[in-house]
Chains A and B, each alone.
Chain A
């Protein structure tokens, strides 16, 4: 049982390049989330998916898009990367969302030059 997996673990991009961060969970959870973590700050929610087929904006959605491909997978896309998007990105999932505990992946460290 792998829990929440993320790929890649590290990525370096040039300004303007695009990329997709992949996330998958094998816990049959309904809700999935994308966060970013910047130095000295707590996590900030980018997007979330309450259930398969739905996505909603979080606190900091600008510059990102998401796709809930199926119940297991939730991807985050940067269409035109900017240095301000240099961060550590975490995917998480929870069974039903509102009051459930979230389980996190190992994170992706992204650097945009």
Chain B
């Protein structure tokens, strides 16, 4: 069975600095999808970035980018120029290519932005 591990329960960063959140996963599959979701205090889950495993190029969305290391089964999220609005819980999630529509979620990392 697939598992997703986020080893950092909490991270803090100074405003305008860069922070990297870690995620590792375990799978025997070769085709799958990885996601980072953000959950602010409002509780709504918001998609930050998505990566297809067959793509070697790391996904980027404005200030957010990933470091996808398929062999190491690692999928870290880098947030550049951190802003106060980035403060939230961040969840890493995995979905296999032929899944029963199920996302496998990590436990989350709380990101604190220091002004």
Contacts and interface: CB of A to CB of B under 8 A. Distances in A.
Contacts of A92: 45
Contacts of A40: 107-108
B104 to A, nearest CB: 8
B28 interface: no
B78 interface: no
Contacts of A109: 43
A108 B99 CA distance: 26
Interface of B: 4, 33, 35, 37, 42-47, 50, 91, 93, 95, 97-108
B101 A50 contact: yes
Which 4 pairs show the lowest CB-CB distances between chains A and B?
A42-B105, A104-B45, A107-B43, A97-B101
A31 B100 CA distance: 11
A56 B100 contact: yes
Given A42-B93, A42-B106, A106-B42, A101 B47 contact: yes
B72 to A, nearest CB: 21
A80 to B, nearest CB: 26
B23 to A, nearest CB: 11
B4 A42 contact: yes
Nearest to A59: B102
